[in-house]
Amino acid sequence: MKRTRFTLALAVSAILVSVLLALPVPAASAPALQQTDNPNPPDQVVKLIFIHHSTGENWLRDDYGGLGQALADNNYFVSDTNYGWGPDSIGDRTDIPNWTEWFSSDQTPIYMNAVLNESGQTSSYTRLPDDPGGENQILMFKSCFPNSALEGSPDDPPSAEDGLTVGHAKYVYNEILQYFATRPDKLFIIITAPPLTDPTYAENARAFNQWLMDDWLAGNNYTLPNVAVFDFYNVLTGPDNHHRFANSQIEHVFTPGMNTEYYPSGDDHPSEAGSRKATEEFLPLLNIFYHRWLSGNAALPPDNEPGGKVLPTETPAVAEAPESGGAGSPLPPENVLSIDDFETGANGWTAFWDEATSTTISCGAEQGTGNNGSASLRIDFSVAPGCSATCAFLFDTPQDWSAGEWLAYDIHYEKEFQPFSVIVYGGTPDSRETYTQEKETSYVYMEGYITFTSMWNDLLRAEWEDKAGTPFSQPGQVTGLAFRFDADPDAPYTGTFWIDDIRLQKSPTYPTANPGKSPINRLPCVQAILFPLVVIGAFLVLRRK
């Protein structure tokens, strides 16, 4: 009798253990709801681009996953890329090892310029009828299901050795994170690769995607709100596996052992049912990610302990600025060297314009408007149609900025989608060379300052000079810095900018990234073309104010 009771007890215990093991397990990274979390659509139209192949195309289609229609219903204007898209047909290459080509290569400025300015669609889906203009603000990208066949072991550390392995996949995402750190004005949404029906590498796929959810951002001490992950893989591995907003919190749960495709379509492409489940769970999360990014109040990644790689996500204390006209000095341990913080005024900053037109511009220090300190450089401009105006600082002797990997500057503005150009002059004071990069303000962060960056190879030789389009390659020979405002041929351009904390920066851990936006190569008006020539000619034509 005792043995029978004991046997019965063991059986009941085994059943309970089996039930418990089958229950969904909360992922360690599932954050609790914050007071600021908002699953509702944006109040205004937001431009989004989705980089994908066939699974993404199915997900977008109205008659399959319905993602395109759902995005439109939530106030997103959607564009997308597919096979054959873009410079060098970069759209062909969306496997995990290819992401460094997109986000961390010499071609990154070219590819990102194309991505940010793409407004077409390559798939069949309903989208909002009117393009609101400006750049894409949200970049979504995913790899296809073959990328769930990751070789190696679940706990492999990041590895630079190329191949479709757990270690190299971790390495790739660590590398591209440095580019995201330089673009706080964009929101990057990583969509995990869908699962396979073949269980051979299923455990590795689960481990890697859990790493993306739990450890990727935390291990890199990344605290900016401009990167988020949607676990498309997890949603497709079981009916009780979710990544969603439910019961007033973000829920990321899965059933142990369910690591393969639960919603097949005859092959490894997710079925219509699985794709629609992903759409339903994704949209509220996307809205939350957007509002977090917009407010800048995203939750810190979990277990954000010291010891991980340090990215340039926050601006450390600046060093003393070099004297005007002097040579640059090596970057201090803080990895920042101040060029001008305007705390002692805007000495040397000069406005240039064509006095034969109605153009006006002024630039000078203004107290009480600084970003970190008390003062900033205020630029008020009203540019006649087809003309330009510039605020510049020209050095008497060349400066050595070669210790920095990029130029950073903080800008506050009053209007969205305002174009401007940053200019770095090379050569010599008697024969300056003009290198420009076109920029545009976003519609976000108008309440404060936003950091813009320019890598040296983002700055291209001006169209009106010899060797037009060649990148700036001599940061050890800088002869000036300027901000230029160009009006379209048929309308004046008026606005106010506040610029602060112009500085050189470098990554303390990673190799050089390639942030920023390549120029659109808009040819300035005749008066604007004359500007660098007049500078070289000792400012004989343009008036100095």
Nearest to 471 by CA among 452, 456, 486, 484: 456
Same domain, 279 and 343: no
276: enclosing H helix or E strand = helix 272-295
Same domain, 288 and 347: no
Nearest to 308 by CA among 181, 222, 223, 219: 219
pLDDT score of 264: 86
Mean pLDDT confidence for 222-231 = 95
pLDDT score of 303: 31
Nearest to 446 by CA among 411, 418, 420, 414: 414
Same domain, 98 and 224: yes
Specify if 316 maps to a domain. Answer: no
- Which residues, in sequence order, are bridge partners of residue 500? 410
Give the global pTM.
Answer: 0.57
Same domain, 455 and 520: yes
Final residue of a structural domain among 295, 316, 350: 295
- Which residues, in sequence order, are bridge partners of residue 138? 48, 187
How distant is the alpha carbon of residue 176 from its chain centre? 10
CA atoms within 13 A on the CB side of 293: 26
Nearest to 210 by CA among 172, 259, 163, 246: 259
Residues 83-119: tens digit of each pLDDT:
999 999 999 999 999 999 999 999 999 999 999 999 9
Specify if 377 maps to a domain. Answer: yes
Same domain, 340 and 285: no
- Which residues, in sequence order, are bridge partners of residue 18? none
* Alpha carbon distance 364, 81 (integer Å): 44
* Tokens at 92, concatenated: 């062909």
How distant is the alpha carbon of residue 308 from its chain centre? 21
Q: Per-residue b/e over 466-499, b at no fewer than 16 CB within 10 Å?
A: eeeeeebebbebbbbbbbbbbbeeeebbebebbb
Least confident range of 1-15, 98-112, 143-157, 272-286 = 1-15
Per-residue confidence band for 443, with pLDDT thresholds at 50, 70 and 90: low
Res 421 pLDDT > 80: yes
Specify if 322 maps to a domain. Answer: no
Which CA distances in Å does 37 have to 193, 218, 230, 502? 26, 20, 16, 33
* Tokens at 405, concatenated: 């990997």
pLDDT score of 451: 78
- Count of domains for the chain: 2
Res 2 pLDDT > 90: no
111: enclosing H helix or E strand = helix 108-117
Per-residue confidence band for 507, with pLDDT thresholds at 50, 70 and 90: low
Answer for the pair 123, 131: CB distance below 8 angstroms, yes or no: no
Answer for the pair 286, 189: CB distance below 8 angstroms, yes or no: yes
Q: Three-state SS for 110?
A: helix
Final residue of a structural domain among 241, 270, 295: 295
Per-residue confidence band for 309, with pLDDT thresholds at 50, 70 and 90: very low
* Alpha carbon distance 211, 155 (integer Å): 9
Per-residue confidence band for 406, with pLDDT thresholds at 50, 70 and 90: confident
Specify if 308 maps to a domain. Answer: no
Per-residue confidence band for 505, with pLDDT thresholds at 50, 70 and 90: confident
Which CA distances in Å does 4 have to 1, 10, 16, 18? 5, 10, 18, 21
Per-residue confidence band for 310, with pLDDT thresholds at 50, 70 and 90: very low
Rg (the chain; Cα; Å): 26
Same domain, 140 and 203: yes
* Alpha carbon distance 95, 9 (integer Å): 51
CATH code of the domain containing 248 = 3.40.50.1110
Q: Supply φ then ψ for residue 529, to 5 degrees.
A: -65, -35
Same domain, 401 and 491: yes
* Alpha carbon distance 536, 407 (integer Å): 24
Answer for the pair 148, 233: CB distance below 8 angstroms, yes or no: yes
Same domain, 357 and 257: no
Residues 324-348: tens digit of each pLDDT:
333 333 444 445 688 999 999 999 9
Specify if 433 maps to a domain. Answer: yes
Residues 139-196: tens digit of each pLDDT:
999 999 999 999 999 999 999 999 999 999 999 999 999 999 989 989 999 999 999 9
Res 384 pLDDT > 90: yes
pLDDT score of 442: 66
Same domain, 284 and 344: no
Answer for the pair 161, 219: CB distance below 8 angstroms, yes or no: no
Specify if 29 maps to a domain. Answer: no
- Domain span at residue 127 reads 42-295
Final residue of a structural domain among 245, 270, 295: 295
Specify if 325 maps to a domain. Answer: no
Same domain, 284 and 354: no
Question: Residues 157, 161, 166, CA angle at the centre, nearest 5°?
Answer: 40
Which CA distances in Å does 505 have to 293, 328, 382, 454? 23, 13, 32, 10
Res 316 pLDDT > 70: no
Specify if 529 maps to a domain. Answer: yes
Neighbours of 161 (CB within 10 A): 8
Res 68 pLDDT > 70: yes
Nearest to 417 by CA among 391, 386, 443: 443
CATH code of the domain containing 513 = 2.60.120.430
Residues 456-494: tens digit of each pLDDT:
888 999 999 999 999 999 999 999 999 999 999 999 999
